[in-house]
């Protein structure tokens, strides 16, 4: 299960990443293994999405969300 | 001013770093460039309680010392490059108290560079309101640095911060955060030895960033590359390991020092606003309504001040030409410099309003929502959600907009944005459009509400956006991508705009505009005046001689005689000769040699057009009667046919030329500075000129 499969309002816990380059950036932004993430909203055209992580709101594209594997 | 101590402000974006900078330095600040790069360097001075002066440097906001964009790369290079002489004596790290976890990552990196640090815990009021309690003493003790809770917006805790800066240690006493050596033990040891670096984290940074650090020679950089291969160092893996280790440290620290309420993510105000502003339907509707409001505001709010400035200059010109004896210098002053200057100053109100409104959108956090909503559309045409900001800013001026593309991490997206931004109808085109539209489009209403002139202007603005999008789409296929693009971006909490900041941006941008454009316009006015007032050979003398023959004085009134002489002289002046040389090229577009002069001088800056028209046509008007440029152009007749020069076809053909041509020396210069390669501005200039010529040609022949 990846982050991109969650619906708005659903929560998950980050397990690992499938893409090293992306993971470095995501972890810097506080999105790292063990962290709880929640889908806050989806952009009007369906992409990107906004997630709640580490106490703030982060926006990322669906493709990027698909590299985040949840527990 | 001589400073006793140099202090750098470092922090994540949206932590109130600039607000703190403004408070510490007041208006005692200046914006310059970091040596070698064009990233704005904001510095200012601050009086410390013990009487010493601190120089404060505001470094670009960044989430880590590993740069993702051009702006961010400055941070490490300032902290590391001793040769630049900008290494601070003290770093003030600003942390957002309501979002400590992510903010602390940067702190731990900075701390490990072992430069003395003071922590400013900003937005302490916001975090208290959210029910977060921070044990500041324990926090400071665990980090081993002074920690000062402040609220930059409410100007609280500033005196305490100043005294913390004053009494800060001269040597770094902060606790280690992670075991840096464990990340790459042999490599770090070897770099420390070979490069005489005693800080292990600094050595590790040399390994990560050696390719982009300009203080390393090619040999030094190659040697580091060799060492990396030898020790099987993988930069991204090392970064991932480091980041995880740092967050472990941060989680332990926060567990001991920060208590958060259990109901962590309830419905915040920001969330409620987002539900409306990024709503499927209302989201775009509101965005377009805001854009519409901005345009309305630019036109309606600026009308009165613009009229005032225009009248002031007309009065000044009239007064000066009456008070001063007629002569070449007075003519240069009145018809050249003043006419040109009024052309720029008159649209300062529009620029100021636009910049104020844009900075409100930026400041409140709305701009990042626009980025969020538009990313998908923008990606389709080869751009990026972040391109929206420069494109909207392009309505004001391409120069700051092109500089703002530095936040776009992806090279290809950034290049395309730079290439198309000058197509957006900037405010310098506005006077050209309004002048020409007023000349040929009747001021009538159609369907009750729509003013014809307003419609024509809206069409020009829409055309600019459509052309920018189309060109971007074409370039998407021409340019090769260098790296993968991503869109991982913070959506900051909505905040009230900081009105002082808005006012300062408005003032600062308008000032820059007046100074930049003013210089060009005065220069162009003088050159043009010289070219117009003198001619090759003894042509002028011959004209004077011819018309001094008695038969002219008999058949013509003195007034019309002066006019004939003046226009004969213009035609035979350097400007006239030059205009005639290029006339064959621009004739298919419907332009005569006089328009040619205006066209060429506008390549320095578009707004020169109005001034040039005023200068060129001023020879034909009555000397006593200072007509507006519009009246002069309206009366302009083709000497061969007797028909008006500015027909619908000519006016629109001219507008097309101004819509597409790269007539702005400052933009060419800034594109060069940003791309560091003459091929980019050259390619841009070429494609835009071709577009301009083609569009003018088609429009002229359709409307003729």
Set of chain B residues whose Cβ sits within 8 Å of the Cβ of A61: 375, 486-487
Please report which helix (H) or strand (E) contains residue A11, including its range. Answer: strand A11-17
- Domains of chain B and any CATH numbers: 5-166 (3.40.50.300), 180-259 (no CATH), 522-703 (no CATH)
Q: Which residue of B has its CA nearest to A60?
A: B488
CA distance B278 to chain A (A): 7
| The predicted structure's pLDDT at residue A23 | 92
| The predicted structure's pLDDT at residue B657 | 95
Percent of the residues in chain A that have a pLDDT greater than 70, as a whole number: 100
Of B102, B283, B491, the CB nearest to A59: B491
Q: Which of residues 324-343 of B touch A (CB under 8 A)?
A: none
Contact B264 A55 (CB under 8 A): yes
- Predicted TM-score of the model (pTM): 0.81
Q: Where are the domains of chain A?
A: 3-70
Pairs from B546-552 (Cβ < 8 Å, separation ≥ 24): none
Chain center to CA of B551? 60
CATH class given for the domain over A3-70: mainly beta
* B262-321: pLDDT as tens digits: 655 556 788 889 989 998 889 999 998 888 788 777 767 877 888 888 889 888 988 888
A7 touches chain B (CB under 8 A): no
A32/B517 Cα distance (integer angstroms) = 49
Q: Which of B36, B82, B75, B80 is nearest to B58 (CA)?
A: B75
B681/B415 Cα distance (integer angstroms) = 11
ipTM value > 0.90: yes
B111/B117 Cα distance (integer angstroms) = 7
Partnered with residue B95 across adjacent β-strands are B121
| The predicted structure's pLDDT at residue B624 | 42
Q: Count CB atoms within 10 A of the CB of residue B39.
A: 20
Q: Which of A48, A59, A5 is nearest to B377 (CA)?
A: A48
What are the residue ranges in chain B where pLDDT is below 70?
A: 1, 27-40, 262-267, 299, 343, 347, 517, 563, 615, 618-629
CA distance B259 to chain A (A): 13
Q: Count CB atoms within 10 A of the CB of residue B33.
A: 11
B247 touches chain A (CB under 8 A): yes
| The predicted structure's pLDDT at residue B625 | 44
| The predicted structure's pLDDT at residue B622 | 46
């Amino acid at each position: 299960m990846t982050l991109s499969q969650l619906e708005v309002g659903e929560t998950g816990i980050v397990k690992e990443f499938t893409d090293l380059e992306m993971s470095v950036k995501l972890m810097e932004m506080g999105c790292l293994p063990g962290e709880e993430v929640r889908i806050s909203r989806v952009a009007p055209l369906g992409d990107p999405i906004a997630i709640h992580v580490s106490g703030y709101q982060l926006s990322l594209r669906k493709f990027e969300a698909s590299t985040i594997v949840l527990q | 001013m001589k400073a006793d101590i140099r202090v750098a402000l470092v922090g994540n974006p949206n932590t109130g770093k600039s607000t703190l900078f403004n408070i510490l330095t007041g208006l005692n600040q200046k914006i310059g460039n970091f040596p070698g790069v064009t990233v704005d360097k904001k510095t200012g001075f601050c009086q410390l309680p013990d009487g010493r002066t601190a120089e404060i440097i505001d470094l670009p906001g960044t989430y880590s010392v590993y740069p993702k964009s051009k702006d961010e790369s400055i941070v490490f290079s300032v902290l590391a490059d001793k040769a630049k002489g900008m290494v601070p004596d003290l770093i003030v790290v600003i942390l957002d108290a309501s979002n400590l976890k992510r903010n602390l990552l940067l702190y731990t990196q900075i701390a490990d560079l072992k430069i003395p640090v003071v922590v400013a815990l900003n937005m302490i009021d916001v975090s208290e309101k959210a029910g977060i309690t921070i044990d500041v003493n324990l926090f400071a003790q665990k980090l081993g640095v002074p920690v000062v809770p402040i609220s930059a917006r409410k100007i609280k805790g500033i005196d305490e911060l100043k005294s913390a800066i004053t009494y800060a240690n001269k040597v770094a006493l902060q606790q280690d955060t992670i075991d840096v050596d464990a990340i790459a033990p042999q490599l770090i040891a070897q770099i420390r030895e070979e490069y005489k670096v005693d800080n292990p984290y600094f050595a590790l940074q040399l390994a990560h960033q050696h390719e982009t650090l300009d203080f390393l020679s090619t040999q030094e950089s190659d040697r580091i590359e060799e060492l990396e291969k030898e020790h099987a160092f993988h930069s991204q893996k090392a970064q991932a390991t480091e980041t995880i280790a740092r967050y472990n440290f941060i989680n332990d620290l926060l567990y001991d020092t920060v208590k958060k309420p259990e109901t962590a993510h309830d419905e915040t105000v920001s969330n409620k606003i987002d539900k409306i502003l990024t709503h499927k339907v209302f989201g775009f509707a509101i965005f377009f309504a805001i854009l519409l409001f901005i345009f309305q505001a630019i036109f309606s709010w600026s009308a009165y001040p613009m009229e005032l400035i225009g009248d002031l200059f007309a009065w000044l010109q009239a007064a000066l030409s009456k008070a001063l004896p007629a002569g070449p210098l007075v003519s240069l002053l009145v018809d050249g410099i003043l006419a040109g200057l009024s052309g720029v100053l008159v649209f300062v109100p529009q620029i100021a309003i636009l910049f104020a409104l844009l900075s409100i959108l930026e400041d409140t956090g709305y701009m990042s929502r626009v980025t969020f909503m538009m990313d998908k559309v923008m990606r389709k045409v080869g751009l990026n959600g972040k391109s929206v900001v420069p494109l909207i800013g392009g309505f004001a001026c391409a120069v700051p907009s092109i500089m703002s593309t530095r936040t776009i991490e992806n090279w290809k997206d950034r290049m395309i944005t730079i290439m198309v931004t000058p197509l957006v109808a900037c405010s310098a085109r506005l006077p050209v459009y309004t002048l020409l539209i007023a000349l040929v489009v009747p001021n009538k209403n159609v369907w009750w509400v729509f003013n014809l002139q307003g419609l024509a202007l809206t069409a020009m603005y829409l055309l600019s956006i459509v052309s920018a999008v189309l060109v971007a789409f074409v370039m998407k296929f021409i340019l090769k991508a260098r790296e993968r693009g991503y869109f991982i971006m913070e959506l900051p909490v909505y905040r009230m705009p900081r009105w002082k900041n808005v006012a300062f941006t408005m003032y600062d941008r308008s000032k820059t505009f007046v100074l930049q454009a003013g210089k060009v316009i005065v220069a162009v006015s003088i050159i043009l005046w010289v070219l117009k007032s003198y001619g090759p050979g003894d042509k002028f003398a011959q004209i004077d001689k011819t018309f001094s023959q008695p038969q002219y004085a008999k058949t013509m009134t003195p007034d019309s005689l002066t006019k004939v002489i003046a226009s004969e002289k213009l035609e035979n002046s350097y400007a006239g000769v030059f205009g005639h040389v290029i006339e064959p090229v621009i004739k298919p577009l419907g332009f005569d040699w006089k328009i040619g002069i205006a066209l060429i001088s506008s390549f320095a800056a578009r707004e020169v057009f109005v001034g040039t028209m005023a200068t060129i046509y001023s020879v034909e008007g009555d000397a006593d009667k200072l007509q507006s440029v519009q009246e002069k152009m309206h009366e302009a007749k083709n000497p061969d046919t007797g028909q008006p020069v500015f027909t619908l076809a000519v006016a629109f053909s001219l507008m097309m030329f101004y819509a597409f041509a790269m007539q702005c020396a400052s933009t060419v210069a800034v594109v060069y500075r940003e791309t560091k390669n003459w091929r980019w501005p050259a390619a841009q200039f070429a494609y835009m000129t071709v577009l301009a010529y083609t569009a003018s040609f088609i429009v002229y022949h359709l409307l003729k």
